[in-house]
């Protein structure tokens, strides 16, 4: 990890400012934003020995201070300025450690910081009494510091350190309950598809996440070093200022492969097709972990990476970059559609939210991809960042609410809930607010405006296949609003399930969650409504700020015009919400029709099974990459190692013993015998020489 001594160098005045800015005095804040959570992580085990209360309170303090420092950078964004500071790092090859606080990184840093703080506060109540809290706080704070390092780094190398840091924290927290109790599994225990279990233990899920994200990381580091080989730098700024490297790489046929390889890292971290399967089973971790890492922050790291490198390739490679943006757009569209279709049939509340997360990130990737395929780059770019911010709020809120429902119902399955709104009115209001934002309820929710912005960007794009992507996006919106209403209806409406009735018979009182848990998710739920009510103004603000940022930092020409509603996009948003939410209301809230009617038709039953079995992608992966290789390895072991390798060893042993006996017999110790053998050898050599 980057040495902590950097902070002391900054204090001593050892930092180098790349340009003279009125905000250079805030450079120390930029360093502290990511270093303070790291310090908090390191002292958590020590506090565990001294004071349990101090151990549980200190993470909130460190997270709050880090968030406050992030907020001090907001004036920099408002002025369209930036803070770029560097410190010597690897002098032998001229590599510096540096941070870049510009409009993009300041927006994302504040989202990460404040949502992380709220989830840390929530965790104090949610994780109360857990036996391994010191480990939990260490990895939560370590994750926050690593994520901020990703966001604030001014170069690929430091970003990759943070990238691996969040990967380690994710692995540790997904498998946090490593004793693998059945109640900590995800999936129905008796569910198989193509003979592959569709249920997962925490340790297995953690390892699966580690391996699948590492596959993306290998692609990413390969792409980074391809660029380094042609530029001699890991920094973003030189790549923007001089485009010679892009021309040379394009001539060599390496530019688009390098860009797509780097995007491979984003596919892994952001759980996009085809490396999406790990996220669906990462729900074995505590729900607070899901809210922080797998909804609001880490899975957004891939989106941030594309947002950071996208403009570089757009301005450096001109028309040659179109293929890269096509890959981004199609990966996003396919992921959004695929995971939304799977969410409409799943019965685990956290897993529905996991499917939804991957799907909504697909929307963001689609927006960033279409930005590079349009005449106005800022349209799709600002739409993607707007949806990132909107989704971070409502999805983190929904995960935390889900954690409360799991606590109360003592089950992860929604059909074990039902009727909870009577006893959990505050949680009901919050889940309706955040859920409506996910569903894209018109006018009053942030989700409506951010999805509408993506629809508008698709409609206004000149890309030849934009209409196909648009249809996929609208169908995804229909499914999103349906599974959201289905989730709320199954958990909050109707009669109490038999499971809840049995709990109440055993004196388990259904009650509202504590204030420590309720306040954080309520703040985020309210935030989605506040942003929704002021949606056009917020969208216009993000569009304006990012437009100035793209012009000042990348030289991308942006026409600074007022945001105008695209009425086709608005109507599409309204219709998709109306269809999806309407069906969800009829079947799961009002319960005017029985959804089990689907099982009476062979075709619909087959479709249901196909979706429930995750398009069989997970099963195919296990056959191809786990069972298949293991089968080959067993064959290799049985017929090669056992027969050939194990056969060679005895044969070698026998032959050496046989030759040793011959040598022993030759060594008689009689001098006349040695002279006789020597003479024969001389004669034999003479015969050979004379014959030649």
Q: φ and ψ at 593, to 5 degrees?
A: -140, 155
Q: What is the mean pLDDT of the chain?
A: 91
The token pair at 191 is: 């569910």
d(CA 451, CA 543): 14
Q: What Rg do the C-alpha atoms of the chain give, in angstroms? A: 30
**Higher pLDDT pick, 66 / 661:** 66
> Residue length, the chain?
692
Q: What is the pLDDT of residues 26-39, one digit of tens each?
A: 999 999 999 999 99
Is it the case that residue 471 has pLDDT exceeding 60? yes
Give the per-residue pLDDT at 647. Answer: 72
Q: Kind of pairing, strands 192-193 and 196-197? A: antiparallel
Residues above pLDDT 70, as percent of the chain: 96
pLDDT of residue 319: 65
- In the block, residue with structure tokens 């001699």: 232
**Does the CA dihedral 405-411-415-416 come out positive or negative?**
negative
- If you average pLDDT over residues 363-389, what whole number do you get? 95
d(C-alpha 330, C-alpha 684), whole Å:
78
Give the residues across from 186 on adjacent strands: 200
Distance CA 580, CA 584 (A): 6
Q: How many CA atoms lie within 13 A of 120 on its CB side?
A: 30
CA-wise closest residue to 418 among 503, 492, 502, 345: 492
Name which of 57, 69, 62, 66 is nearest 41 in CA terms.
Answer: 62
What pLDDT shows up at residue 598? 77
Assess contact for 442 and 573: CB atoms under 8 A. Answer: yes
- By C-alpha distance, which of 212, 205, 245 is closest to 228? 245
Sketch the domain layout of the chain as residue ranges: 155-612, 619-691
pLDDT digit string, tens, across residues 137-183: 999 999 999 999 999 999 999 999 999 999 999 999 999 999 999 88
Whether the Cβ atoms of residue 103 and residue 546 lie closer than 8 Å to each other: yes
Tell me the pLDDT band of 3, cut-offs 50, 70 and 90.
Answer: very low
pLDDT digits (tens, 9 = 90+) for 208-263: 999 999 999 999 999 999 999 999 999 999 999 989 999 999 999 999 999 999 99
pLDDT band at 655 (very low <50, low <70, confident <90, very high): confident
pLDDT band at residue 103 under the 50/70/90 scheme: very high
Rounded CA separation 239/224 (Å):
12
- The residue written with tokens 């209301």 in the block is 585
Asked whether 445 and 517 are in contact (CB, 8 A), the reply is: no
Least confident among 9-13, 274-278, 522-526: 9-13
| Cβ-based neighbour number of residue 573 at 10 Å | 26
| 642 CB-contact burial (10 Å; exposed 0-12 / middle 13-18 / buried 19+) | exposed
Look at 4-13, 147-156, 430-439, 681-690 and tell me which has the smallest mean pLDDT. Answer: 4-13
Secondary structure (3-state) at 410: coil
Residue 604 token pair = 């619909």
At a CB cut-off of 8 Å and minimum separation 6, what does 374 contact?
Answer: 380, 457, 460, 461, 462, 463
The reply to whether omega before 274 is within 30° of 0 (cis) is: yes
CB proximity list for 147: less than 8 A, separation 6 or greater: 112, 116, 162, 166, 297, 298, 301
Q: Is the pLDDT of residue 1 over 60?
A: no
Whole-number pLDDT of residue 11: 46
Say what percent of the chain tops pLDDT 90. 75
**CA 362 – CA 355 distance, rounded (Å):** 11
Q: What pLDDT does 112 receive?
A: 96
Q: Which stretches of 121-255 are assigned E, i.e. beta strand?
A: 192-193, 196-197
Residue carrying the six token digits 């089990």: 596
Q: Is the sign of the CA dihedral 425, 428, 432, 434 positive or negative?
A: positive
């Amino acid at each position: 990890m980057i040495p902590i001594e950097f902070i002391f160098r900054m204090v001593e005045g050892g930092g180098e400012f790349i340009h003279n800015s009125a905000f250079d005095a805030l450079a120390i804040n930029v360093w502290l934003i990511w270093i303070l959570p790291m310090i908090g992580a390191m002292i958590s085990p020590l506090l565990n020995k001294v004071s349990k209360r101090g151990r549980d309170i200190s993470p909130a303090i460190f997270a709050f201070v880090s968030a406050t420092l992030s907020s001090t950078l907001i004036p920099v964004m408002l002025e369209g300025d930036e803070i770029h500071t560097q410190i010597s790092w690897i002098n032998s090859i001229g590599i510096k450690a540096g941070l870049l606080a510009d409009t993009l990184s300041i927006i994302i840093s504040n989202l990460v910081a404040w949502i992380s703080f709220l989830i840390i506060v929530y965790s104090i109540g949610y994780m109360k009494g857990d036996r391994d809290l010191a480990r939990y706080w260490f990895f939560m704070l370590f994750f926050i510091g690593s994520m901020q390092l990703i966001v604030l780094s001014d170069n690929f190398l430091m970003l990759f350190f943070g990238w691996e840091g969040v990967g380690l924290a994710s692995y540790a927290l997904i498998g946090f309950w490593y004793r693998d109790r059945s109640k900590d599994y995800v999936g129905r225990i008796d569910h198989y598809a193509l003979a592959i279990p569709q249920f997962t233990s925490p340790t297995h899920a953690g390892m699966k996440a580690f391996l699948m994200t590492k596959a993306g990381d290998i692609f990413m580091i390969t792409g980074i070093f391809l660029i380094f080989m042609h530029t001699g730098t890991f920094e973003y700024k030189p790549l923007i200022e001089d485009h010679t490297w892009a021309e040379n790489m394009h001539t060599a046929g390496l530019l688009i492969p390098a860009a797509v390889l780097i995007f491979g890292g984003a596919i892994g971290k952001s759980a996009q097709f085809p490396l999406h399967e790990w996220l669906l089973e990462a729900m074995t971790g505590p729900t607070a972990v899901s809210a922080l890492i797998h909804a609001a922050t880490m899975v957004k790291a891939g989106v941030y990476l594309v947002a950071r490198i996208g403009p570089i390739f757009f301005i450096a490679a001109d028309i040659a970059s179109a293929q890269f943006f096509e890959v981004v757009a199609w990966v996003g569209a396919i992921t959004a559609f695929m995971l939304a279709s799977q969410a409409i049939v799943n019965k685990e509340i956290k897993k529905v939210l996991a499917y939804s997360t991957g799907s909504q990130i697909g929307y963001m990737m689609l927006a960033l991809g279409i930005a590079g395929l349009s005449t106005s780059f800022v349209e799709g770019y600002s739409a993607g960042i707007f949806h990132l911010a909107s989704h971070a709020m409502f999805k983190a809120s929904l995960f935390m609410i889900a954690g409360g429902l799991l606590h109360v119902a003592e089950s992860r399955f929604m059909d074990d809930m039902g009727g909870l709104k009577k006893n959990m009115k505050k949680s009901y209001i919050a889940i309706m607010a955040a859920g409506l934002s996910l569903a894209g309820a018109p006018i009053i929710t942030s989700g409506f405006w951010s999805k509408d912005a993506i629809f508008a960007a698709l409609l206004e794009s000149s890309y030849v296949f934009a209409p196909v992507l648009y249809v996929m996006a609208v169908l995804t919106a229909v499914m999103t609003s349906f599974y959201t209403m289905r989730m709320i209806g199954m958990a909050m409406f109707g009669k109490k399930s038999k499971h809840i009735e049995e709990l109440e018979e055993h004196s388990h009182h259904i009650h509202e969650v504590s204030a420590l848990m309720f306040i954080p998710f309520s703040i985020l739920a309210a935030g989605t409504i506040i942003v929704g009510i002021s949606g056009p103004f917020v969208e216009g603000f993000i569009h304006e700020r990012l437009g100035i940022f793209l012009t000042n930092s990348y030289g991308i020409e942006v026409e600074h015009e007022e945001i105008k509603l695209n009425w086709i996009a608005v109507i599409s948003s309204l219709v998709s919400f109306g269809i999806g939410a309407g069906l969800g209301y009829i079947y799961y809230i009002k319960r005017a029709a029985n959804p089990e009617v689907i099982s009476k038709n062979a075709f619909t039953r087959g479709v249901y099974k196909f979706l429930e079995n995750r398009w069989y992608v997970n099963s195919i992966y296990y056959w191809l990459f786990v069972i298949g290789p293991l089968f080959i390895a067993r064959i290799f072991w049985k017929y090669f190692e056992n027969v050939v390798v194990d056969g060679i060893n005895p044969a070698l042993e026998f032959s050496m013993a046989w030759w040793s006996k011959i040598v022993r017999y030759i060594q008689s110790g009689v001098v006349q015998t040695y002279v006789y053998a020597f003479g024969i050898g001389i004669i034999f050599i003479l015969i050979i020489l004379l014959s030649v």
